[in-house]
Amino acid sequence: MSVWVIIPVKPLRLAKSRLSKIFTPEEREQFAEAMLRHVLKVVQDVSLVAGILVISRDNHALALAREYNAKTIQESGAPELNAALMRATSIVASWRAEAVLILPADLPLIQPEDIVNIINMGSGTHPCVVISTDRNKDGTNALYVQPPGLISYAYGAESFQRHAVMARDAGADVLIYQSDRMLQDIDLPEDIENYQRMIQRGDYEDTIKKEIKL
């Protein structure tokens, strides 16, 4: 099974604007870069992954991705996440990918076993879509699609439900991957607070502590 991971990345200097009340612009950029590096390293460590493709308008993010042996696409024109992901999916499909796993760049707790578990869940049936949501059960923090292009992407508010409906309409088995690590993305100040609580309880290692002081 040839599985490619696709990671869309917003310009790092513009990332996490909703954290502006607690972080300076420089801290937000450092934080976004630290999380991207973590996600790239985790995916790089999974032997089941055939390759990584990062799509972004940010030259710095693309250069960083290449440090982890990722392929890159320079996004141009008016940015639109779902269209960019369809373009990236078409490219990896032309490279004979049999499945794609879409991951955001802001999962500070994701571990290799999450990637392995998602791929193993999805590889058992065909066609299949595996979805992992966020703490609010609203967004999509991981989306495995087999075969690539089976469904369009619907990122944005309530994307978790929309992706599930689209997958069922396409005749795919829909599986939900549940993991506390995958629930924790970082968009709002309360996400930072929850992340800190999880670290302070000793449940998880602070994977970004060397990059930025929270």
Q: Which whole number is the average pLDDT over 175-190?
A: 93
Per residue in 17-53, pLDDT (tens digit) is: 888 888 888 989 999 999 999 999 999 999 999 999 9
Alpha carbon distance 95, 97 (integer Å)? 6
Q: Which whole number is the average pLDDT over 196-214?
A: 73
- The residue extents of the domains of the chain are 3-200
The pLDDT, as a whole number, for residue 209 is 66
The CATH number given to 3-200 is 3.90.550.10
Name the residue with higher pLDDT: 205 or 80.
Answer: 80
CA 157 vs. chain centroid, Å, equals: 16
How many residues can be counted in the chain? Answer: 214
Alpha carbon distance 30, 26 (integer Å)? 6
Q: Are 185 and 3 contacting, i.e. CB atoms less than 8 angstroms apart?
A: no
The pLDDT, as a whole number, for residue 212 is 53
Q: Which whole number is the average pLDDT over 118-140?
A: 95
Q: Are 111 and 133 contacting, i.e. CB atoms less than 8 angstroms apart?
A: no
> How high does pLDDT run on average in the chain?
92
Task: Give me the DSSP letters along 151-201.
Answer: S----STTHHHHHHHHHHHTT-EEEE---HHHH---SSHHHHHHHHHHHHT
The pLDDT, as a whole number, for residue 211 is 54
Name the residue with higher pLDDT: 204 or 90.
Answer: 90
- Token reading at 203: 């449940």
* Residue percentage of the chain with pLDDT more than 70: 97
- Residue 111 above 80 pLDDT? yes
Cα atoms found within 13 Å of the Cα of residue 194, Cβ hemisphere only: 16
Per residue in 44-101, pLDDT (tens digit) is: 999 999 999 999 999 999 999 999 999 999 987 767 999 999 999 999 999 999 999 9
Parallel, antiparallel, or unpaired for β 99-102 and 3-9?
Answer: parallel
Q: Which whole number is the average pLDDT over 113-142?
A: 95
Name the residue with higher pLDDT: 210 or 118.
Answer: 118
DSSP conformation class of 111: -
How much is the pTM?
A: 0.94
pLDDT-based confidence at 214, cuts 50/70/90? very low
Residue with tokens 């996490």: 16
Q: Which whole number is the average pLDDT over 184-210?
A: 83
The pLDDT, as a whole number, for residue 210 is 52
